[in-house]
Amino acid sequence: MKYFSIITPFLKFDKELFNCLQSLNFQKYSNFEVILVYNGPKNIRKNQKENYLKTNYPNLSINLIVSKKKNNISYARNFGISNSRGRYLIFLDSDDMIFKNSLISIFREIKKNTPEVIAYNYKSVKKNKFSNDIILKNKKNFLKNINDFDGISLTCWRFIVQKKFLKKNKIKFNTELLVNEDNLFVSQIILNVKKFLISKLRYYIYNYNSKG
């Protein structure tokens, strides 16, 4: 079993996706898989793309799957979750990245605490600074640790989630929601979590510019 499953829906094979994958290539820690979920509008030659990925990212365990519903990121993420083999799930947008060698630090932190959910702050490319909207102030009530309930606070990539926790609480992305689908998903996590960790680590690089 892999320790982490990194779930990344994407619409096209482009420079941003390759930068995203390259950031995973720069990890000393290797017990993770990458679930690439294609949910773009065009058909792709899956075998050809798989060969490209194997050639260019030989150190990564990449599972390329094709979503049955196009342009539906909620369905794509659920599909990624159902195809994952990791204990913990990391949601990584295809135009974002993670810091070099950050996974080993995350692994050590999780191994020590075994939480159901871990929340992280991030670095914004546009603002060139780190967020601080989730800070540990209360070890029993997760909500009291969120300083600012904006859209970024409730995005799924702010959290690393234990897969069995999602299964136990029957938490999925709502495929009927085409915008702000993260908010409901994360709200369900917050309402059900019993053992959580607010980390001081910052591993995620949020590429706001590419999102428009």
Tell me the sheet residues that pair with 36.
8, 64
pLDDT beneath 70: ranges in the chain = 132-133, 135-136, 138-139, 143-153, 208-212
Burial (CB < 10 A; 0-12, 13-18, 19+), residue 130, is exposed
Three-state DSSP class for residue 65: strand
Q: What is the pTM of this model?
A: 0.92
Q: Which residues contact 78 (CB under 8 A, 6 or more apart)?
A: 172, 173, 175
What confidence tens digit (pLDDT) does each residue in 112-146 have?
999 999 999 888 887 777 776 676 676 677 766 66
Nearest to 95, CA basis, from 41, 173, 146, 19: 19
- CB-CB contact of 10 with 84 (8 Å): no
What is the model's pLDDT at position 212?
Answer: 43
| CA gap 178, 70 in Å, rounded | 12
